[in-house]
Amino acid sequence: MPKSLEVLSNLKFQVDKENKLIFIWILEDQKKSDEFKELIAFARSKKYKLVTFVSGNEDMKLGLEKLVLNNVEESIVERTR
């Protein structure tokens, strides 16, 4: 288990110390990585809640683009009803 989060350089995350939250963005296959398991153990040891956003198996940028486009499409459909 890492003593600090700096050693987890391959993961994209953000720490909210005030609310004791760690936000992490990962691909589906990163969920099984040793770094992610270390982050889970670190969060538990410090009593932080881990908030995980998983983009599936494709690139996160592409997944985010699809999500935004889908939300815009749903918003347009809702306004026309």
- Condensed to tens digits (0 to 9), the pLDDT of residues 30-79 reads 888 888 898 899 899 999 999 998 876 777 678 778 888 888 888 776 66
pTM for the full predicted model = 0.60
Distance of alpha carbon 66 from alpha carbon 77, whole angstroms: 16
**CA 77 from chain center: how many Å?**
29
What lies within 8 Å, CB to CB, of 34 at 6+ separation is none
Q: How confident is the model at residue 25 (pLDDT cuts 50, 70, 90)?
A: confident
Q: Name the band, by pLDDT with cuts 50, 70 and 90, for residue 1.
A: very low
Q: Which residue has 């494709």 as its token pair?
A: 58
CA 13, CA 53: separation in Å to the nearest integer? 10
